[in-house]
Amino acid sequence: MKILVFIEQRDGKIKASAREALAMAAELSGGGEHRHLHAVLIGKDIRGLAAQLQGYGIDKLHLVDAEALALYNPMHWASALHAAVTACNPQLLLGIASPLGRDLLARLAARLDCGLLSDVVQAEVSGNEVQALKPMYAGKCLAKMRLDCTPLGILAIRPNVFPPAPQQGTDAPQVEEVGVELPALPLVTKAIRKGASEKPDLTEAPTIISGGRAMASADNFKILHECAEVISATVGASRAAVDSGYAPHDMQVGQTGKTVNPNLYIACGISGSVQHMAGMRTAKTIVAVNTDEEAPVFTIASYGIVGDLFEVVPLLTQKFKELLDKS
């Protein structure tokens, strides 16, 4: 099966999740010498990023490079990805179900009138189909679905589920530039840039510490940030905390926020609504801190601490410092 992988980049850096997409694509393509693995990069002045994709088994890298693609604009990027798909003619387009990926791949599926499966956690090829599993009903069950790849299917996999592809050697992919005519936009659009931060986005973070309504104020989130600095975590929030004005929406974890899948998720003062647990229940290890021993979050927690987060979190921070100093 000929596969085209959408490689997401931001501010001139390829996102870590791209290696997960490449690993999944290599597995689906069957591996070996006869696989057909292509990739596409979209943006401005991105030719230099090709060096970061050496050794991942990519046969050809399609570059769509234009001034108008410097920042993400859904209509321009959809046109750019459409041009790359036309040039490559794959059976399967594969990407990550990140906020950008969900938006872009859905737009392209609508343009091409083809099938799309998003938030997939397991997949395999069967003939001209991809059979996949994806969580449904707030993660209460897994649905087995089929994606027809005749002539094209689009697959978006959940971040932090598949192990990233290892870099093997320094073989560079063949680079091909793809031309595209970008339409004039009928609407004025406004780009909102993320603030400068070295921390990974919630959807890609391997470690997350989140606060709920019990944080009581935006200022109190500083104890979570202090802990996050020690363990290199990203700070999240529940919808209740966001609705109360304690945290911005881009920190929200849950069904109406971001779906995360970290190695470690620490829930502080979060009771565990169905909506919140739908966004984090697939974390490898969950630690819950809550004064209510009957809180629903304890039903899915790997470890539970019944106590006041304002006492527990500083103690955790101190213990983390001691452990990391010893190591």
Find tokens 């339409």 and name the residue.
Answer: 183
Same domain, 117 and 214: no
Same domain, 112 and 236: no
Contact predicate 120/68, CB 8 Å: no
Same domain, 164 and 37: yes
What's the rounded Cα separation, in Å, for the pair 63 and 175? 7
Residue 196, in any domain of the structure: no
Residue 310, in any domain of the structure: yes
Same domain, 78 and 216: no
Same domain, 79 and 173: yes
Residue 192, in any domain of the structure: no
Same domain, 211 and 161: no
- What's the token pair of residue 166? 């290892």
Residue 252, in any domain of the structure: yes
Residue 197, in any domain of the structure: no
Same domain, 172 and 263: no
pTM of the model: 0.80
Nearest to 174 by CA among 292, 27, 62: 62
The tally of domains found in the chain comes to 2
Q: Can you give the pLDDT at residue 198?
A: 64
Same domain, 16 and 117: yes
Q: Can you give the pLDDT at residue 195?
A: 55
Same domain, 285 and 148: no
Q: Can you give the pLDDT at residue 168?
A: 83
Residue 188, in any domain of the structure: no
Range of the domain at 212: 207-326
Q: Can you give the pLDDT at residue 276?
A: 94
Q: Can you give the pLDDT at residue 148?
A: 94
CATH number where 305 lies: 3.40.50.1220
Residue 147, in any domain of the structure: yes
Same domain, 118 and 32: yes
Residue 165, in any domain of the structure: yes
Q: What share of the chain is helix, strand, coil (3-state, %, to 5)?
A: 30, 30, 40
What's the rounded Cα separation, in Å, for the pair 144 and 124? 11
pLDDT along the chain (327 residues), means of 10: 93 88 90 75 93 90 94 92 96 93 96 95 92 84 93 92 84 91 68 60 91 97 96 96 95 89 95 91 94 96 97 97 84
CATH number where 121 lies: 3.40.50.620
Measured in degrees and rounded to the nearest 5, phi and psi for residue 260 equal: -120, 160
Q: Can you give the pLDDT at residue 10?
A: 86
Same domain, 114 and 255: no
Same domain, 239 and 119: no
Q: Pick from 130, 159, 177: which residue ends a domain?
A: 177
